[in-house]
């Protein structure tokens, strides 16, 4: 059954989880509940790790960092925070959901997304006010907005919160490396790009997810075996000019494990 996304102005479940604990209360919505957890103290570079926990009921889904043509990716806005200069989400291995004409990457089970907050001045008072926007879907996708206000220093040594954060980080794919990752082969031709995968494992289990951003969009990569090499082919739309920045996120999954890395812009 194809997922339908209703405009936010027609259906939007919104709320606020306030308070000055180091982790928020659960925000409850149809099919899901969401909370923000922080634990520990920032490192010497001012990075503080937390988790956006998304509890999904059976039959409900949410999206990966690239939700496809019509999905809603998780977004965390920290612009109203105090002493927080940046935020970055990380994602565990997604699933490919095939609904005929619509293919998308996401999760149909409870998922925890590690989130790294970069503090402007480590050691100074900090208030994280995070406006979280995401989609949760059964047959209809509902945009959900929740605001979480937490003081990470108020209970930094909470063992339960620390365990939640540690488990989420441990579940992430490892970093890509020369013997486990993908590389672009040649230049795009006729709107398609080819990538060669390196890994140890069964080629039949290899699956690749590429997140479009900065003007790039991709179709779901198709796997083939050519001269003993695993090749993925995907159609791509590209910006008129190559952007600056680190590149395009990808995740490669096989029966030997999973890695995430960055593809240079092409």
pLDDT at 14 (0 to 100): 55
pLDDT value of residue 11: 41
Instruction: Assess whether 82 and 211 both reside in one domain.
Output: no
Burial 118-144 (b: 16+ CB within 10 A, else e): bbeebeeebbbbbbbbbbbbbeebbbb
Q: What pLDDT does residue 67 have?
A: 83
- Domain count along the chain: 2
Whether 156 and 181 share a structural domain: no
Tell me, yes or no, whether 115 and 217 share the same domain. no
43/158 same-domain check: yes
Q: For residues 145 and 235, state if they share a domain.
A: no
Chain Cα centroid distance, residue 223:
23
Give yes or no: residues 12 and 44 share one domain.
yes
Q: Is 12 found in the same domain as 141?
A: yes
* This prediction's pTM: 0.90
Select from 172, 187, 216 the last residue of a domain: 172
Q: Is residue 163 located within the same domain as residue 61?
A: yes
Q: Do 212 and 168 belong to one domain?
A: no
126 and 165 together in one domain: yes
Residue 175 pLDDT: 98
Tell which of 120, 141, 172 closes a domain: 172
Domain holding 17, by residue range, is 4-172
Q: Of 172, 196, 221, which residue sits at a domain end?
A: 172
Residue 104 sits at φ, ψ, to 5 deg, of -150, 160
How far apart (Å, rounded) are the C-alpha atoms in residues 150 and 87? 14
pLDDT in single tens digits along all 266 residues of the chain: 344 444 433 344 455 554 568 999 999 999 999 999 999 999 999 999 999 999 999 999 999 999 877 678 999 999 999 999 999 999 999 998 877 777 889 999 999 999 999 999 998 999 999 999 999 999 888 899 999 999 999 999 999 999 999 999 999 999 999 999 999 998 888 899 999 999 999 999 999 999 999 999 999 999 999 999 999 999 999 999 989 889 999 999 999 999 999 999 98
pLDDT given for residue 16 in this prediction: 56
Asked if residue 151 and residue 214 are part of one domain, the reply reads: no
Shared domain for 17 and 120, answered yes or no, is yes
């Amino acid at each position: 059954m194809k997922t339908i996304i209703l405009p936010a102005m027609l259906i939007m479940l919104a709320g606020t989880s306030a308070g000055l604990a180091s982790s928020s209360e659960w925000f409850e919505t149809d099919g899901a509940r969401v909370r923000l957890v922080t634990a520990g103290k920032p490192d010497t570079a001012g990075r503080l790790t937390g988790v956006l926990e998304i509890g999904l009921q059976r039959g409900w889904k949410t999206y990966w960092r690239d939700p496809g043509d019509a999905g809603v990716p998780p977004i965390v806005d920290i612009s109203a925070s105090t002493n927080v200069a940046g935020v970055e989400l990380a994602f565990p291995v997604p699933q490919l959901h095939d609904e005929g004409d619509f293919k998308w990457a996401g999760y149909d089970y409870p998922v925890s997304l590690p989130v790294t907050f970069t503090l402007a001045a480590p050691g100074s008072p900090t208030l994280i006010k995070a406006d979280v926007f995401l989609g949760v879907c059964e047959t209809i996708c509902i945009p959900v907005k929740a605001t979480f206000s937490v003081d990470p220093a108020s209970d930094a040594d909470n063992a339960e919160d620390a365990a939640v954060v540690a488990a989420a980080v441990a579940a992430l794919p490892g970093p890509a490396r020369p013997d486990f990752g993908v590389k672009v082969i040649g230049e795009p031709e006729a709107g398609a790009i080819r990538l060669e995968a390196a890994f140890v494992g069964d080629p039949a289990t290899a699956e690749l997810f590429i997140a479009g951003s900065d003007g790039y969009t991709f179709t779901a990569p198709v796997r083939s075996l050519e001269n003993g090499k695993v090749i993925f082919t995907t159609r791509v739309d590209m910006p008129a000019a190559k952007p600056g920045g680190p590149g395009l996120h990808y995740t490669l999954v096989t029966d030997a494990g999973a890695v995430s890395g960055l593809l240079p812009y092409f």
